[in-house]
Structure 1
Amino acid sequence: MTRVWILPVLLVLCGAFAAAGLVVAGSPGTAAALLPVFLLLAGVNSPLVFPRSIGAREAQRRSTVDGRPVVFWRPGCVYCLRLRIRLGRSARRLHWVDIWRDPAGAAAVREVNDGNETVPTVVVDGSPHTNPDPAWVRGRVSPSR
Protein backbone atom coordinates (compact mmCIF):
# COMPACT_ATOMS: atom_id res chain seq x y z
CA MET A 1 0.00 0.00 0.00
CA THR A 2 2.71 2.51 0.91
CA ARG A 3 4.79 1.64 -2.16
CA VAL A 4 2.32 3.37 -4.49
CA TRP A 5 2.61 6.60 -2.52
CA ILE A 6 6.43 6.83 -2.47
CA LEU A 7 6.78 8.78 -5.72
CA PRO A 8 3.96 11.27 -5.03
CA VAL A 9 5.20 11.94 -1.49
CA LEU A 10 8.76 12.44 -2.74
CA LEU A 11 7.53 14.88 -5.37
CA VAL A 12 5.60 16.89 -2.76
CA LEU A 13 8.60 16.94 -0.41
CA CYS A 14 11.03 17.95 -3.17
CA GLY A 15 8.67 20.70 -4.28
CA ALA A 16 8.27 21.96 -0.73
CA PHE A 17 12.03 22.01 -0.10
CA ALA A 18 12.73 23.68 -3.44
CA ALA A 19 10.03 26.30 -2.82
CA ALA A 20 11.29 26.94 0.71
CA GLY A 21 14.82 27.37 -0.62
CA LEU A 22 13.61 29.84 -3.22
CA VAL A 23 11.68 31.84 -0.60
CA VAL A 24 14.76 31.99 1.64
CA ALA A 25 16.84 33.06 -1.38
CA GLY A 26 14.42 35.92 -2.01
CA SER A 27 12.40 34.53 -4.94
CA PRO A 28 8.88 33.97 -3.59
CA GLY A 29 7.33 34.41 -7.05
CA THR A 30 9.41 31.59 -8.50
CA ALA A 31 8.60 29.45 -5.46
CA ALA A 32 4.89 30.12 -5.94
CA ALA A 33 5.16 28.99 -9.57
CA LEU A 34 7.30 25.92 -8.83
CA LEU A 35 5.29 24.40 -6.00
CA PRO A 36 2.08 23.84 -8.03
CA VAL A 37 4.13 22.07 -10.71
CA PHE A 38 5.42 19.58 -8.14
CA LEU A 39 1.94 19.17 -6.67
CA LEU A 40 0.51 18.49 -10.13
CA LEU A 41 3.22 15.91 -10.83
CA ALA A 42 2.50 14.26 -7.49
CA GLY A 43 -1.22 14.12 -8.21
CA VAL A 44 -0.74 12.69 -11.69
CA ASN A 45 1.58 9.99 -10.36
CA SER A 46 -0.68 9.06 -7.48
CA PRO A 47 -3.25 6.28 -7.53
CA LEU A 48 -5.97 8.95 -7.22
CA VAL A 49 -5.96 9.58 -10.99
CA PHE A 50 -6.89 6.00 -11.82
CA PRO A 51 -10.19 4.22 -11.22
CA ARG A 52 -10.31 2.04 -8.13
CA SER A 53 -8.13 -1.04 -8.54
CA ILE A 54 -9.32 -4.55 -7.89
CA GLY A 55 -7.47 -7.84 -7.65
CA ALA A 56 -6.40 -9.70 -10.79
CA ARG A 57 -8.56 -12.72 -10.08
CA GLU A 58 -11.64 -10.56 -9.45
CA ALA A 59 -10.94 -8.50 -12.58
CA GLN A 60 -10.63 -11.64 -14.70
CA ARG A 61 -13.85 -13.00 -13.22
CA ARG A 62 -15.71 -9.74 -13.93
CA SER A 63 -14.24 -9.55 -17.43
CA THR A 64 -15.52 -13.05 -18.17
CA VAL A 65 -19.00 -11.98 -17.07
CA ASP A 66 -19.24 -8.55 -18.73
CA GLY A 67 -16.63 -8.78 -21.53
CA ARG A 68 -14.83 -5.60 -20.50
CA PRO A 69 -11.01 -5.41 -20.84
CA VAL A 70 -8.67 -5.72 -17.86
CA VAL A 71 -5.88 -3.15 -17.57
CA PHE A 72 -2.79 -4.01 -15.54
CA TRP A 73 -1.01 -0.80 -14.46
CA ARG A 74 1.23 0.73 -11.79
CA PRO A 75 1.60 4.24 -10.38
CA GLY A 76 4.36 6.35 -11.92
CA CYS A 77 4.10 4.68 -15.33
CA VAL A 78 3.84 7.38 -18.00
CA TYR A 79 2.37 4.94 -20.51
CA CYS A 80 -0.35 3.96 -18.03
CA LEU A 81 -1.06 7.63 -17.44
CA ARG A 82 -1.23 8.27 -21.19
CA LEU A 83 -3.70 5.41 -21.56
CA ARG A 84 -5.79 6.64 -18.64
CA ILE A 85 -5.95 10.23 -19.89
CA ARG A 86 -6.67 9.29 -23.50
CA LEU A 87 -9.45 6.92 -22.45
CA GLY A 88 -11.18 9.75 -20.62
CA ARG A 89 -14.50 8.86 -19.04
CA SER A 90 -14.58 5.45 -20.73
CA ALA A 91 -11.72 4.38 -18.43
CA ARG A 92 -14.31 3.70 -15.73
CA ARG A 93 -15.72 0.90 -17.87
CA LEU A 94 -12.51 -1.14 -17.68
CA HIS A 95 -11.25 -3.29 -14.83
CA TRP A 96 -8.00 -1.80 -13.45
CA VAL A 97 -5.42 -3.90 -11.57
CA ASP A 98 -2.52 -2.16 -9.81
CA ILE A 99 0.35 -4.65 -10.05
CA TRP A 100 2.13 -3.04 -7.10
CA ARG A 101 -0.82 -3.81 -4.85
CA ASP A 102 -1.71 -7.22 -6.27
CA PRO A 103 0.97 -9.94 -6.49
CA ALA A 104 -1.31 -12.09 -8.68
CA GLY A 105 -1.62 -9.17 -11.12
CA ALA A 106 2.16 -8.72 -11.23
CA ALA A 107 2.56 -12.45 -11.88
CA ALA A 108 0.00 -12.33 -14.69
CA VAL A 109 1.87 -9.47 -16.35
CA ARG A 110 5.24 -11.22 -16.01
CA GLU A 111 3.73 -14.37 -17.52
CA VAL A 112 2.71 -12.64 -20.76
CA ASN A 113 5.72 -10.28 -21.02
CA ASP A 114 8.68 -12.68 -20.87
CA GLY A 115 9.18 -12.17 -17.13
CA ASN A 116 8.97 -8.36 -17.26
CA GLU A 117 6.40 -6.21 -15.48
CA THR A 118 5.68 -4.17 -18.60
CA VAL A 119 2.58 -2.05 -18.21
CA PRO A 120 0.04 -1.15 -19.30
CA THR A 121 -0.91 -4.64 -20.29
CA VAL A 122 -4.50 -4.84 -21.47
CA VAL A 123 -6.30 -8.17 -21.66
CA VAL A 124 -9.17 -8.21 -24.15
CA ASP A 125 -11.16 -11.43 -24.57
CA GLY A 126 -8.35 -13.39 -22.92
CA SER A 127 -5.67 -12.00 -25.26
CA PRO A 128 -2.97 -9.77 -23.69
CA HIS A 129 -1.77 -6.60 -25.43
CA THR A 130 1.25 -4.75 -24.06
CA ASN A 131 1.15 -0.95 -24.24
CA PRO A 132 -1.62 -0.81 -26.85
CA ASP A 133 -2.71 2.35 -28.59
CA PRO A 134 -5.33 4.12 -26.42
CA ALA A 135 -7.61 4.58 -29.45
CA TRP A 136 -7.54 0.82 -30.02
CA VAL A 137 -8.46 0.18 -26.36
CA ARG A 138 -11.26 2.76 -26.54
CA GLY A 139 -12.63 0.88 -29.55
CA ARG A 140 -12.81 -2.28 -27.45
CA VAL A 141 -14.97 -0.56 -24.83
CA SER A 142 -18.40 -0.25 -26.36
CA PRO A 143 -21.04 1.91 -24.67
CA SER A 144 -23.34 -1.11 -24.44
CA ARG A 145 -20.90 -3.04 -22.26
Structure 2
Amino acid sequence: MKKYTANGSYEIDHAKIGISSKGPEAIIQLKPNYDDMQIAYKLWVEVCTRKIGLPIDFKNDVIVEVYNSWYEFFKITRELIKTVPVQKIQQHKSTKDIVQIAIDVLNECVRPHLTMWQAKFRKWYNEEMKKDENNNADAAIKSLSPQ
Protein backbone atom coordinates (compact mmCIF):
# COMPACT_ATOMS: atom_id res chain seq x y z
CA MET A 1 0.00 0.00 0.00
CA LYS A 2 1.35 3.42 -0.96
CA LYS A 3 1.51 6.15 1.63
CA TYR A 4 0.47 9.65 0.68
CA THR A 5 0.95 12.68 2.83
CA ALA A 6 -0.73 16.00 2.43
CA ASN A 7 1.86 18.76 2.65
CA GLY A 8 -0.70 21.45 3.34
CA SER A 9 -1.66 22.16 -0.24
CA TYR A 10 -4.28 19.43 -0.03
CA GLU A 11 -6.92 18.64 2.55
CA ILE A 12 -9.18 15.70 3.19
CA ASP A 13 -12.47 16.13 1.35
CA HIS A 14 -14.04 12.80 2.20
CA ALA A 15 -12.92 9.79 4.21
CA LYS A 16 -14.51 6.38 4.56
CA ILE A 17 -12.92 3.85 6.87
CA GLY A 18 -14.32 0.45 7.61
CA ILE A 19 -13.86 -3.29 7.72
CA SER A 20 -15.03 -5.62 5.00
CA SER A 21 -14.68 -9.34 4.43
CA LYS A 22 -11.30 -8.55 2.87
CA GLY A 23 -10.06 -6.72 5.96
CA PRO A 24 -9.65 -3.04 6.81
CA GLU A 25 -10.53 -0.58 4.08
CA ALA A 26 -9.92 3.11 3.83
CA ILE A 27 -10.94 5.50 1.12
CA ILE A 28 -9.66 9.03 1.43
CA GLN A 29 -10.36 11.70 -1.14
CA LEU A 30 -8.18 14.77 -1.14
CA LYS A 31 -8.92 18.16 -2.61
CA PRO A 32 -6.63 21.12 -3.16
CA ASN A 33 -6.60 23.71 -0.39
CA TYR A 34 -7.89 26.54 -2.58
CA ASP A 35 -8.20 28.93 0.36
CA ASP A 36 -4.42 28.89 0.83
CA MET A 37 -3.81 29.33 -2.86
CA GLN A 38 -6.29 32.22 -3.15
CA ILE A 39 -4.95 34.14 -0.16
CA ALA A 40 -1.33 33.63 -1.21
CA TYR A 41 -2.17 34.73 -4.76
CA LYS A 42 -3.97 37.88 -3.58
CA LEU A 43 -1.00 38.82 -1.38
CA TRP A 44 1.41 38.12 -4.23
CA VAL A 45 -0.58 40.35 -6.59
CA GLU A 46 -0.58 43.17 -4.02
CA VAL A 47 3.19 42.95 -3.54
CA CYS A 48 3.96 42.68 -7.25
CA THR A 49 1.71 45.52 -8.40
CA ARG A 50 2.39 48.09 -5.68
CA LYS A 51 5.35 50.29 -4.88
CA ILE A 52 6.08 48.09 -1.88
CA GLY A 53 7.36 45.38 -4.19
CA LEU A 54 9.63 47.67 -6.21
CA PRO A 55 12.76 49.63 -5.38
CA ILE A 56 12.08 53.32 -4.81
CA ASP A 57 13.23 55.47 -7.70
CA PHE A 58 14.15 58.63 -5.82
CA LYS A 59 14.56 60.55 -9.07
CA ASN A 60 11.12 59.78 -10.53
CA ASP A 61 8.81 58.38 -7.84
CA VAL A 62 6.42 60.67 -6.01
CA ILE A 63 7.15 59.76 -2.41
CA VAL A 64 3.67 60.65 -1.15
CA GLU A 65 2.27 58.11 -3.63
CA VAL A 66 4.78 55.51 -2.44
CA TYR A 67 3.61 55.98 1.15
CA ASN A 68 -0.04 55.88 0.05
CA SER A 69 0.63 52.58 -1.73
CA TRP A 70 2.43 51.10 1.29
CA TYR A 71 -0.40 52.15 3.59
CA GLU A 72 -3.02 50.65 1.24
CA PHE A 73 -0.99 47.42 1.12
CA PHE A 74 -1.03 47.36 4.92
CA LYS A 75 -4.82 47.79 5.04
CA ILE A 76 -5.52 45.26 2.28
CA THR A 77 -3.21 42.65 3.80
CA ARG A 78 -4.83 43.05 7.20
CA GLU A 79 -8.28 42.61 5.62
CA LEU A 80 -7.14 39.49 3.73
CA ILE A 81 -5.83 37.99 6.96
CA LYS A 82 -9.22 38.57 8.58
CA THR A 83 -10.97 36.61 5.82
CA VAL A 84 -9.07 33.41 6.63
CA PRO A 85 -11.42 31.01 8.45
CA VAL A 86 -10.05 30.31 11.92
CA GLN A 87 -10.64 26.57 11.54
CA LYS A 88 -8.30 26.59 8.51
CA ILE A 89 -5.56 28.16 10.64
CA GLN A 90 -6.11 25.55 13.34
CA GLN A 91 -6.25 22.59 10.96
CA HIS A 92 -3.67 23.45 8.29
CA LYS A 93 -0.05 24.38 8.90
CA SER A 94 0.17 25.89 5.41
CA THR A 95 -2.70 28.30 6.18
CA LYS A 96 -1.14 29.23 9.49
CA ASP A 97 2.21 29.80 7.74
CA ILE A 98 0.67 32.09 5.08
CA VAL A 99 -1.06 34.17 7.75
CA GLN A 100 2.12 34.34 9.86
CA ILE A 101 4.24 35.42 6.90
CA ALA A 102 1.73 38.17 6.08
CA ILE A 103 1.72 39.36 9.71
CA ASP A 104 5.53 39.29 9.82
CA VAL A 105 5.76 41.37 6.64
CA LEU A 106 3.41 43.94 8.17
CA ASN A 107 4.89 44.02 11.67
CA GLU A 108 8.59 43.52 10.95
CA CYS A 109 8.99 45.28 7.60
CA VAL A 110 6.24 47.75 6.75
CA ARG A 111 5.09 48.97 10.18
CA PRO A 112 8.53 49.97 11.55
CA HIS A 113 9.29 52.11 8.49
CA LEU A 114 5.85 53.71 8.38
CA THR A 115 5.95 54.37 12.13
CA MET A 116 9.36 55.99 11.95
CA TRP A 117 9.09 58.00 8.73
CA GLN A 118 5.57 58.36 7.35
CA ALA A 119 4.23 60.86 9.90
CA LYS A 120 7.40 62.98 9.69
CA PHE A 121 7.29 62.94 5.91
CA ARG A 122 3.58 63.80 5.73
CA LYS A 123 4.02 66.68 8.21
CA TRP A 124 6.91 68.07 6.16
CA TYR A 125 5.03 67.49 2.89
CA ASN A 126 1.86 69.24 4.10
CA GLU A 127 3.88 72.22 5.36
CA GLU A 128 5.67 72.50 2.01
CA MET A 129 2.38 72.25 0.11
CA LYS A 130 0.95 75.10 2.23
CA LYS A 131 4.05 77.21 1.54
CA ASP A 132 3.70 76.49 -2.15
CA GLU A 133 0.00 77.40 -2.10
CA ASN A 134 0.79 80.68 -0.30
CA ASN A 135 3.60 81.51 -2.73
CA ASN A 136 1.35 80.78 -5.70
CA ALA A 137 -1.43 82.88 -4.18
CA ASP A 138 1.01 85.77 -3.58
CA ALA A 139 2.30 85.48 -7.15
CA ALA A 140 -1.27 85.48 -8.50
CA ILE A 141 -2.17 88.55 -6.45
CA LYS A 142 0.98 90.38 -7.59
CA SER A 143 0.24 89.55 -11.20
CA LEU A 144 -3.18 91.18 -10.81
CA SER A 145 -1.66 94.33 -9.41
CA PRO A 146 -1.84 97.36 -11.75
CA GLN A 147 1.73 98.41 -10.88
Shared fold per TM-score greater than 0.5: no
- The one of the two structures with greater contact order (alpha-carbon pairs below 8 A, sep at least 6) is 1
Q: Which has the larger radius of gyration?
A: 2
Normalised to the residue count of structure 1, the TM-score between the two structures is 0.31
Q: Higher helix proportion, which one?
A: 2
